[in-house]
Amino acid sequence: MKRERRARILATLGPASSSLESIRALAEAGADVFRLNFSHGSHADHAERLQLIRRVEQELERPIGVLMDLQGPKLRVGRFADGKVTLKAGTSFRLDLSPEDGNETRVSLPHPEIFAALERGTELLLDDGKLRLRVESFGPDFAETVVIVGGVLSDRKGVNVPGVVLPISPLTAKDRADLAFGLSLGVDWVALSFVQRPEDIRETRELVGDRAWIMAKLEKPAAIDQLEPIVALADGIMVARGDLGVELPPQQVPVLQRRIVRAARAAGRPVVVATQMLESMISAPVPTRAEASDVATAVYDGADAVMLSAESASGQYPVEAVSIMHRIICEVEKDPAYREGLEASHSPAAANTPDAICCALRRVADLLEPAATVTYTTSGFSCLRASRERPKAPILALTPHVGTARRLSLVWGVHPVPFEEVHDVAEMVEHAGAAAVRQAFANPGDVVVVIAGIPFGHSGSTNLLHVLRIPA
């Protein structure tokens, strides 16, 4: 299961892709990491899927990462007496805490935290932005609004409040129960929805500890205002273009996507571009040309991974979606302009030993053109710093911890391999060459560049670079 491409594929599992055969087919087609969406499905469903992923992992002898995606707070209006109403532009409409069924003049909004954050002139978006209201007056339990963009509004439609930091935790009671269950299963990544501020990452970190890596989903404009602090605290970043595209004008989303990818790359955090990448393949066997270009753009920008949602979870062509995404990535990475773009967007290394070693790794790889680079890593730190440099040669990550290997399966250019502990440099060099040959990255006589931290087993101690010619 050696991957020739550097960018990774994150595929969501669901009703269309929950059997052993379908999960195996997705992995063979190119899926590197699987997403369990806790907005849907029962705990039993997710436990069964994770068990099947681990069976496929054993069959293919390649670490496969599992990301659990928490639902986060869902802000919704209440119900209407007739199931739906039609709001006309220019009319008044009241939102309040009353549990009574709504009508053409009012509806329940059972979220007092929204009223606490309002200002006069605040705009509210309903039903994924299809309807727009402007706040004229408000109190702790109501808001009087005027309809700016009208339309049909039915029961339990979502509410977005762009430009406002809501005083709520990203973790609901459901999320906390789901998180505890997912961690007990042994998930590798936790995707945190509704991130607004750095404190949201800290709150989640207290619950997760070192049992998984945390991926911040950037889907709120408020998070963009604190992008760098959030990136610094998270282990990975997801450009969640769904809600981001609701709360912001669509022309701003591509610009923000590139900004987020660059911020994550500069900090050495894996970054995923998600939502509607191959949307038409939910019901069609091939994507549109615009969708193919969308995937290619994310890869050209240097994203670590691109994600499939409904395309692989509930679509009619899940394996085909993964396969075409794989082929798009391969085609981009063969383009000389891809490499030129990575070099042009490269961030300077920090003035510390690990960054200096990994910067030297990239320069040595440019000059010697080794068959592979090898990192010895316990926590994954060395490998993340090496991947940040985007070296030309593939990165073979040798780690004594299978959990670290699974987490690294999402990272650009990394081929993770669970490996035994090493105790000295001579043993490390010998094992590095043997592993590169065994994993089909190198042949006897090839050059391999090795980085590690001494003493072994200490996270963040990358301080050694060794150039090895594998004995013939």
Phi-psi region at 116: left, alpha or beta (left = phi > 0; alpha = psi -120 to 50)? alpha
Let me know: does 66 contact 55? Beta carbons within 8 Å: no
Give the pLDDT of residue 295.
98
Residue 386 within a domain: yes
Phi/psi of residue 8, nearest 5 degrees: -110, 165
User: From CA 393, how far away is CA 468, in angstroms rounded?
Assistant: 14
Decide if 79 is inside a domain.
no
**Residue listed under structure tokens 């999320």:** 175
The last residue of a domain, from among 98, 126, 160: 160
Q: Which residues pair with 125 in a beta bridge?
A: 132, 160
269: nearest Cα among 306, 242, 230: 230
C-alpha span between 208 and 180 (Å, rounded)? 8
The pLDDT tens digits of the residues spanning 111-160 come to: 999 999 999 999 999 999 999 999 999 999 999 999 999 999 999 999 99
265 shares its domain with 119: no
Characterize 249-281 residue by residue with b for buried, 16 or more Cβ atoms within 10 angstroms of its Cβ, and e for exposed: eeeebeebbbebbebbbbbbbbbbbbbbbbbbb
Regarding whether 124 and 218 lie in a shared domain, the answer is no
Q: Are residues 384 and 449 in the same domain?
A: yes
- Same domain, yes or no: 205 and 322: yes
Q: Does residue 452 share a domain with residue 357? A: yes
- Give the per-residue SS3 of 342-357: HHHCCCCCCCCHHHHH
458's tokens: 């200490």
The pLDDT assigned to 123 comes to 95
2 in any annotated domain: no
The whole-angstrom separation of Cα 469 and Cα 350 is 29
Of 160, 194, 227, the residue at which a domain comes to its end is 160
Catalytic positions, written as ranges: 35, 76, 217, 275
Residues 59 and 115 grouped into a single domain: no
At residue 420, the pLDDT reads 84
Question: Do 280 and 140 have their domain in common?
Answer: no
The per-residue pLDDT for 1 is 65
395 within 8 A of 405, measured Cβ to Cβ: no
Do 431 and 450 reside in the same domain of the chain?
Answer: yes
Do 111 and 42 fall within a single domain?
A: no
- Tokens coding 454: 């001494």
Within-domain flag for 127: yes
Query: Kind and range of the H or E element at 386?
Result: helix 381-388
Q: Is residue 94 part of a domain?
A: yes
- Mean pLDDT for all residues in the chain: 95
Classify residue 1: in a domain, yes or no. Answer: no
Q: Length of the chain, please?
A: 472
Domain CATH number, residue 150: 2.40.33.10
Q: In whole angstroms, what is the distance from residue 319 CA to residue 409 CA?
A: 19
Both 184 and 294 in one domain: the answer is yes
Number of folded domains that form the chain: 3
Examine residue 398 and state whether it is found in any structural domain, yes or no.
yes
What is the CATH classification number for the domain harbouring 427? 3.40.1380.20
6's tokens: 């550097």
CA–CA separation, 465 and 373 (whole Å):
10
Query: By residue range, what is the domain housing residue 380?
Result: 353-469
Asked whether residue 252 falls in the same domain as residue 138, the answer is no
Which residues of the chain register pLDDT less than 70?
A: 1
Residue 59 is part of a domain; what is its CATH number? Answer: 3.20.20.60
> Where a domain ends, among 160, 183, 199?
160
Rounded Cα distance between 449 and 365, Å, is 7
Residue 472, pLDDT score: 82
78 part of a folded domain: no
Residues 197 and 336 in one domain: yes
Q: What is the model's pLDDT at position 7?
A: 98
Beta bridge partners of 216: 192, 237
